[in-house]
Chains A and B, each alone.
Chain A
């Protein structure tokens, strides 16, 4: 992986004609490079400063520098606002590159912000959920900061009973209530914008995959045919399910009796470990081991209304026509990522509710226990590192 803290640059605004384009430069030496190119005194762009002037004869622009630790990335950082004509930004980037900067990889700014503790893991995920639909950014780290403050407040309250006169039970309740309100609002916005991990509907040819896909999708978007192999290239849709958004891929038939091996191989290559698989097979042949080893697979005995064969134990009878078992499939899909920001925020909301009731009965030790649970939800635990990595992939260059 690239050396952290080296100088990276990218266009942070959309690649289109606009009034202003923003080029972001972050890393060691950012200020010095721009100072040199704009012929400024050394230090003119150190800390939170602003400078207007010509940059290397390319454009007359505004440069804003950020202090170490205060910028988006937490590093030394300069934002250059140049004219939005196509080409200007490209030339600015070019000259920055000549002066030691490297073009940033997708999500690299955000990654640095995360590594430098400027954004929490949950922030990255909420940002990514937001970003996928182009919405404004939601910040939950304010909440988690407040939560950690509350935690130390509670601990002080518990341990130093004589000396600690800062808070009493009623203040704690008020604090908790305000946090609950905000967690709930955040949950509501995030839920409507985030996209859960992908769901792949797979199974042998003509097992009813497209019918299920359409049923979930609510529209006849995929050509349904009984002629084997109709859905050769598969289809991917973002589908609203119970107020959440899920990315579902219908896939070409594979395995079983007839195998469209080429399409299957294609599909298999695009699978990543958090993706879940709904495997359909009316004859209940076990799905490929490679899939079951690496993914959560829901085995469905499909076409249950026609029942061409007996449903084997461990298989869920499903009929997309009669609707049998579809609710269970939806559950499986929605719980694909219980660590997603919206699930987390929902859990935080109900935990805070629990804490409020404990505070009402003077059980501060219990409040503290619950608040640390809330904090744990807000601070992504280690094993969700890959969720963060996935989120980072979703960003484009410049974020």
Chain B
């Protein structure tokens, strides 16, 4: 059969891209150098977190596979932020890294994706319309649309101390030739960097003095397809840096690849290296370090929070200064990877490169960071690539309905000058973008995108019906003279209480979750409505064109700083102007006034 969509790179983005493309209905091939490393977690062995965990559930609602694999391979589960409100609860699992790779590979095979082992070295055809790819062994593969999902591999350079060597990540080759081809095709690219922590042998750690962490006692699973809650299969530990740790880092700062001036690319401010932490907060000690197994009974433990690119001997010193790590043996040292990704402005919200008809990008090369971010953008890129091939309209998620929408919109309209990761605060509709209602929020988009199987659609509709029935029943009754809305607004009311009110027996996780969503929907309804209204107003700003202002110096009522910024950035619309940091509220007020006067004088 003829291949229609080709996905380059079998990481978190590539797997979802290939499966989504197949789901939309295209014969799909995935090219990746090593099938045993499909969806390998390059960094920490965990999926989820604040906003990220919610995104994983959106992926599930969109027909993706990360959620199911995360459930199947979880070693323990924790719900972050339980003391900060249900809207920002962050489900997170520790994963068995190898099991995860296997699970993802299985999903690919089940979806009928054709897997080819190989390293893409060149694209074929004109820039506008790619016709195929060339592999390292000279073999050529043709297709009608392509999804690039090459992660940290494009001209990847690894750094540790004063040494630097090419590589996509530890144990992988760098995609040098492909990067060169991309540059030669005149796409605008930039260099980002990110780092990872040393791994330590489990039996060299004395855990007797460390704080233990096991699963939260809470029934949870990411995917509606999983049965039963996640079970605790492994223990994690927490230790804290001592003043000694910080001292070692401070005195060796010059030896770090990051601080010796060897790396100039931008790293994630929010996922800082340990060097960054010590430099930024010189007085703080006691930084928490989480000790996480790379797999069930794995010999290797990941030190979350200790990302560093110090030379090996310093890493040794740092690790050994931690309580419980006096005799620790490092099995793999931390390092920093520097890689090429696409410049903001190169891709559309459909994730297609603007200058091309059929080349899509996803994952790390969009300028994002994180498995979850990669997986979600992969899904969107893969589905749109397939839709384009089939002559269907490409789809764009709405930022008011999903974190995927927030992310895509941010990346395209605001851009990013450091690896982008999701935060709950990136959304202006946070009380609605919760983990419990992810499937409800994305369902319509999933159907439009064509990635959700018939079976899953039917299951969803059954849940939806249950929800509506319950909702109807609750709304049509009064409880001791009070409406259900009033009751739900009371802080102490739990979904269990509400189930009892109407004698509803929520016996399994699914039913309980449906009630939870209903209660939270009622509780936050007013706020969500307001957020949506504000969004509409803001959207009107995006209708106000600023293109007729050639030189902002004529708008003499705004600050000089703002004028300069506006002249430099030349925003297309008022909402683009709003997004420029140098443009303050008063400047916007003044700009609106100017526009009002201007439009009046044009009319008369």
Contact = CB atoms under 8 A, between A and B. Distances in A.
Interface of A: 1-5, 114-117, 120-121, 155, 157-163, 169, 357-358, 360-369, 373, 379-386, 388-389
Give chain B's interface residue range (CB within 8 Å of chain A). Answer: 35 or more
Nearest to A155: B425
A365 B287 contact: no
28 contacts: A1-B556, A2-B556, A3-B556, A115-B558, A115-B559, A158-B50, A158-B84, A158-B424, A159-B425, A161-B84, A162-B290, A163-B288, A357-B491, A361-B491, A363-B85, A363-B86, A364-B83, A365-B88, A365-B430, A366-B85, A373-B530, A380-B585, A381-B585, A382-B585, A382-B588, A383-B592, A385-B589, A386-B593
Contact of A389 (B50, B531, B584, B593): B593
A381 B592 CA distance: 11
B83 A169 contact: yes
A116 B559 CA distance: 6
Given A163-B287, A382-B589, A365 B491 contact: no
Interface in B578-604: 584-590, 592-593, 596
A5 B561 CA distance: 12
Interface in B460-494: 491-492
B328 interface: no
B492 A361 contact: yes
A365 B585 contact: no
Contact of A364 (B88, B423, B590, B592): B88
A372 to B, nearest CB: 9
Interface in B58-117: 80-81, 83-88, 90
Given A364-B88, A382-B588, A369 B559 contact: no
B556 A158 contact: no
B590 A385 contact: yes
Contacts of A380: 585, 589
A369 B527 contact: yes
A382 B430 contact: no
Contacts of A4: 556-557, 560
Chain B interface mostly: mixed
A84 to B, nearest CB: 34
Contacts of A360: 491
B81 A366 contact: no
Contact of B83 (A5, A155, A362, A383): A362
B123 interface: no
A398 to B, nearest CB: 20
Contacts of B585: 120-121, 379-382
B431 A365 contact: yes
Nearest first, the 4 A-B pairs at minimum CB distance are A361-B491, A365-B85, A363-B85, A385-B589
A389 B594 CA distance: 12
Contacts of B51: 159
A373 B50 CA distance: 23
Contacts of B559: 115-117
B560 A362 contact: no
Contacts, number: 109
B567 to A, nearest CB: 15
Given A117-B584, A360-B491, A369-B431, A5 B527 contact: no
Interface of B: 50-51, 80-81, 83-88, 90, 270, 287-288, 290, 305, 423-425, 430-431, 491-492, 524, 527, 530-531, 556-560, 584-590, 592-593, 596
B541 to A, nearest CB: 8
Nearest to B524: A366
A115 B81 contact: no
Given A158-B425, A380-B589, A366 B527 contact: yes
Given A1-B557, A360-B491, 11 more contacts: A115-B590, A158-B425, A160-B270, A358-B85, A365-B84, A365-B86, A365-B430, A373-B530, A382-B589, A383-B592, A384-B589
Nearest to B238: A162
B602 to A, nearest CB: 17
Contacts of A365: 84-88, 424, 430-431
- Identify the interface centre among B51, B84, B557, B590: most chain A CB within 10 Å of its CB: B84
Contacts of A382: 585, 588-589, 592
Nearest to B490: A361
B425 A121 contact: no
Q: Which of A115, A159, A369 has the most CB of B within 10 A?
A: A159
Contacts of A114: 586
Contacts of B423: 155, 159
A366 B431 CA distance: 7
A363 B586 contact: no
A391 B81 CA distance: 45
A290 to B, nearest CB: 16
A389 B288 CA distance: 52
Nearest to B578: A382
A213 B326 CA distance: 87
A365 B434 CA distance: 11
A389 B596 CA distance: 13
A188 B339 CA distance: 58
A115 B86 contact: no
Contacts of B492: 361
A158 B81 contact: yes
A162 B84 CA distance: 13
Nearest to B593: A385
Nearest to B560: A5
A112 to B, nearest CB: 10
Most chain-B Cβ atoms within 10 A of its Cβ — which of A4, A120, A155, A160?
A4
B76 to A, nearest CB: 16
Nearest to B527: A369
A367 B560 CA distance: 36
A366 B308 CA distance: 36
